[in-house]
Amino acid sequence: MLKQLLLIGTGGFIGSVARFLISRLNTRIEWFSVPIGTLTVNILGSLLIGFLIGISEKSPILTVEWRMFLMVGLCGGFTTFSSFTGENLVLLKDGQILPLLLYTALSIFLGFIAVYLGYISTKLIG
């Protein structure tokens, strides 16, 4: 149990730091008031977890330990929809309905496409 917690915690640390660094795009890029950094994290995280799920189904290369580290830890630390919902609340409170709808729609639609592409990409491997 301690080994699993350490694997998840280490992956979560790496994922959280990566999320923080990428989410800084929110302060550097403005596009219709959409939080670009968090959108980028959600799409990349969806792509990565789709890929990892596909690899796990296709091959025993990802042991339980690696899946814990990568999927639960890294991806869990990297992608959080709590940031997503918090930013939507701010947009709503600021009366920015169009950016709120655009951000929500893009996050859901592109996230689904990314997880599907990640998953499908595993079918192209050997």
Q: How far is CA 7 from the centre of its chain?
A: 19
Tens of pLDDT, residue by residue over 16-61, are 999 999 988 878 888 888 888 888 998 999 999 999 999 998 999 9
Are the C-beta atoms of 52 and 67 separated by less than 8 Å? yes
Residues 82, 83, 86, 88: is their CA dihedral positive or negative? Answer: negative
pLDDT of 115 over the 90 cut: yes
Residue 20: CA count within 13 A, CB half-sphere: 6
How many Å is the Cα radius of gyration of the chain?
16
pTM for this model (two decimals): 0.77
pLDDT at 82: 75
> Average pLDDT, stretch 113-125?
94
Task: Give residue 109's pLDDT.
Answer: 96
